[in-house]
Amino acid sequence: MKNKTILIHAALLSVAFIYGANYSIAKYIMPDYIQAFAIILMRVLGATILFWIVAPKEKLQSKRDYLYLALCSLFGVAINQLFFFKGLSYTVPINASVIMTTTPIMVLISTAIILKEKITSTKILGIIFGFTGAVLLITNGGFNFNTTTFKGDIMILINALSYGTYLVLAKPIMNKYHPLTIVKWIFTFGCIYVFPFGFFEFQQIDWSIIPTNGFIALGYIIVFTTFFAYLLNAWALKHASPNLVGYYIYLQPIIATIIAIIFRGDALTISVVLFSSLIFVGVYLVGKK
């Protein structure tokens, strides 16, 4: 049991690393080289192919399960990804990071409403610690919400609310099937949802102007941000509470800070250590039985 707990946290930490780097990587290629909806179409289609290759040959037991997974896909793939990437093209990474801190709060509320799970004072305290630490860490260098980024900021907020709802909706059916079976069908339905939005922008891509780093960024988005991140999240969600899975979003700014310290030579300040400590205390409280 202890080993499984370690694996759950390792999986969620890996997802936090992947998403933490994705803000800047996705912003590099979008919208200068590829428009947001075209990226969504390619990442969803690419991940769907990978999931069908590696998923076990497991059949769904009823039409109701197909419909339920179609609903999960609407929140977890279509609304979530379309609004995130389109929103990121209108705003800046730091704003998106701040707004994404609302996801664990949404998960906590949705868990109480949909799963009828009791909201304990310990979990609430953990969310408060994490939210405070994450916002202080992200805004340590200053941030700016204004009319220029307002449209994108609203889209990121919708994405955060949608992803939080997905984590809660997907939890019950995760106990019924293999995680790969779940994400395989979620992305299959996702292809249907995003195709009308992404096909037009996909046709407009000028592949000749995209630099090598642009193709590397696109590969990262498809393989890591989509395939591995959803796979690891699905496995963790099968064995852990949606609150814990959603909470790991608060570790993303820590990851971004670590990357900046290692690769850009940024200084490790007392404030960074203090704000990060608040987040780790929150992880303990939210994951505590």
Exposure pattern of 68-106 as b/e (b: 16+ CB <10 Å)? Answer: bbbbbbbbbbbbbbbbbbbbbbbbbbbbbbbbbbbbbbb
Residue 209 has which token pair?
């102007």
Burial of 14 (0-12, 13-18, 19+ CB in 10 A): middle
Instruction: Give the alpha-carbon dihedral of 207, 212, 217, 219, to 10 degrees.
Output: 80
Instruction: Check residue 44 and give its pLDDT.
Output: 95
pLDDT at 140: 64
Q: Which residue has the tokens 């709060």?
A: 105
Which tokens sit at 15? 């997802």
Structure token pair of residue 89: 């093209």
For residue 12, count other CB atoms closer than 10 A to its CB.
Answer: 25
pTM comes to 0.80
Distance CA 36, CA 41 (A): 9
CB burial string 29-38: b at 16+ within 10 A, e below: bbbebbbbbb
Question: Which of 101, 85, 76 has the alpha carbon at shortest distance from 249?
Answer: 101
For 159-228, the DSSP string reads HHHHHHHHHHHHHHHHTTS-HHHHHHHHHHHHHHHHHHHHHHHHHT--GGG--HHHHHHHHHIIIIIIII
Rounded to whole angstroms, the Cα distance separating 143 from 68 reads 39
Give the span between the Cα atoms of 65 and 154, in whole angstroms: 32
Q: What is the dihedral of CA 104, 230, 86, 168, to 10 degrees?
A: -40
Q: Residues for the chain: how many in total?
A: 289
Q: Alpha-carbon distance 230 to 245, whole Å?
A: 11
pLDDT tens digits in sequence order for the chain, 289 residues long: 667 888 998 999 899 888 878 777 877 887 789 988 999 999 999 999 999 999 999 999 999 999 999 999 999 999 988 898 888 778 776 677 777 777 888 788 888 888 787 778 888 888 888 888 877 776 665 556 667 778 888 888 888 889 889 988 998 898 899 999 999 999 999 999 999 999 999 999 999 999 999 999 999 999 999 999 999 999 998 888 888 888 787 777 777 667 666 765 656 678 777 877 887 788 777 766 6
Radius of gyration over every alpha carbon of the chain, rounded to an integer in angstroms? 18
Task: Identify the pLDDT of residue 267.
Answer: 63
